[in-house]
Amino acid sequence: MTATQPETGTPTGKAAGKPSAEDIERAWDDPKLANIIYHDWEASTYDDKWSISYDERCISLVQARFEHVAGVAAQPYPTSLEIGAGTGFFTLNLMLAGLIEQATVTDLSPGMVDAALRNGTQLDLALEGAVSDAEDLPFPDNSFDLVCGHAVLHHIPDLDVAMREVLRVLKPGGRFVFAGEPTAEGDVIARKLSQWTWATTTRALRLPGLRGRYGRPESEIKESEREAALEAVVDLHTFDPDELARLCLRAGAVDVATATDEFTASWFGWPIRTVEAAVRPGSLGWNWFQFAYRGWVGLNWLDAHVWSAVVPDRWFYNVSVTGRKP
């Protein structure tokens, strides 16, 4: 399945790869173009950057996050659409968990759609893909039993239009689930931690004893900083859980509910990811991976079973929302 390229324009370079200086200059004032450029740029390395996998580790994470807000479905969703699907992390792991039967993924970024389809092929999962805009979905009314997304709403300029599109393409009684969106308070803390960790780590890696073992070439560090600057253009929104619910209700949804996750786990996870982005790929080794993964899992359990009872929802990093079409 294919769709036309969004009218906002296309990068002057390749569909997936490093953008030209002209592309980046044009993107500062065009968030949709910035999304295409940034995510095309990231497409080939995105799964490695975010430690995305399609095994029990991420299958259980995705299933838990989905069911945390939507509950346990009595049977798989026959048809699903994901908007802003990236490399397919959410949909493919939901399929592997047995929660989705037939799936279509969309994204503004051609590079991301290509990556998702490749991942689907490697996993022997039937997947359709389309390059499309969440504010103008190229599908008939009443097409899907489920519309979902992960960390996508904060990239969409006009959320009211996008939510009306979500409800339009859902079948009557169909469900939407959007997970992994940043809360306003949680995002401030995460960004501060990441900025401090990046500055501290890149300075430390200039020391002779660390540079040879862990350091990346200065050109790669500068490129990462260019990517981070463009990321600030594509991250358009943060959310209060109650305001996110009201957005869905305005669009006409019913049975709307929100849920949050990651409190102390985000304080640990964002610096960990930042260190990994600053060092040479593969230099930290298996022990670091085990420390990072087990540390995050332990803190995530603490957040879910202890802090969720006493800490306001808005202080958690992730907010998810679900609802149905009447």
Number of domains in the chain: 1
Distances (CA, A) of 310 to 68, 243, 269: 18, 21, 21
Phi, psi dihedral angles at 205 (to 5 degrees): -70, -10
The verdict on residue 282 lying in a domain is: no
- Whether 304 shows a pLDDT value over 50: the answer reads yes
The pLDDT > 70 percentage for the chain reads 94
Give residue for tokens 């599109």: 165
The pLDDT > 90 percentage for the chain reads 83
pLDDT of 2-61, one tens digit each?
A: 343 333 344 433 444 577 777 777 888 899 999 999 999 999 999 998 999 999 999 999
Mean per-residue pLDDT of the chain = 92
Domain with 76 in it? 21-183+236-263+312-324
As a three-state string, the secondary structure of the chain is: CCCCCCCCCCCCCCCCCCCCHHHHHHHCCCHHHHHHHHHHHHCCCHHHHCCCCCCHHHHHHHHHHHHHHHCCCCCCEEEEEECCCCCCHHHHHHHHCCCEEEEEEEECCHHHHHHHHHHHHHCCCCEEEEECECCECCCCCCCEEEEEEECCHHHCCCHHHHHHHHHHHEEEEEEEEEEEEEEHHHHHHHHHHHHHHHHHHHHHCCCHHHHHHHCCCHHHHHHHHHHHHHHHHHCCCCECHHHHHHHHHHHCCEEEEEEEECCHHHHHHHHHHHHHHHCCCCCCHHHHHHHHHHHHHHHHHHHHHCHHHCCCHHHCCEEEEEEECC
The verdict on residue 45 lying in a domain is: yes
The verdict on residue 82 lying in a domain is: yes
CATH of the domain at 247: 3.40.50.150
Q: Which residues, at least 6 apart from 141, have a Cβ–Cβ distance to it below 8 Å?
A: 168, 169
The verdict on residue 121 lying in a domain is: yes
The verdict on residue 158 lying in a domain is: yes
- pLDDT for position 125: 98
- pLDDT for position 17: 58
The verdict on residue 300 lying in a domain is: no
Nearest Cα to Cα of residue 134 among 176, 76, 183:
176
The verdict on residue 52 lying in a domain is: yes
Model-level pTM?
0.92
Question: Which range, of 1-10, 82-91, 131-140, 227-236, averages the lowest pLDDT?
Answer: 1-10
- pLDDT for position 22: 79
Mean pLDDT of 193-210: 94
Cα–Cα dist 302/66, whole Å: 19
pLDDT of 149-187, one tens digit each?
A: 999 999 999 999 999 999 999 999 999 999 999 999 999
The verdict on residue 79 lying in a domain is: yes
Mean pLDDT of 75-84: 98
pLDDT of 93-149, one tens digit each?
A: 999 999 999 999 999 999 999 999 999 999 999 999 999 999 999 999 999 999 999
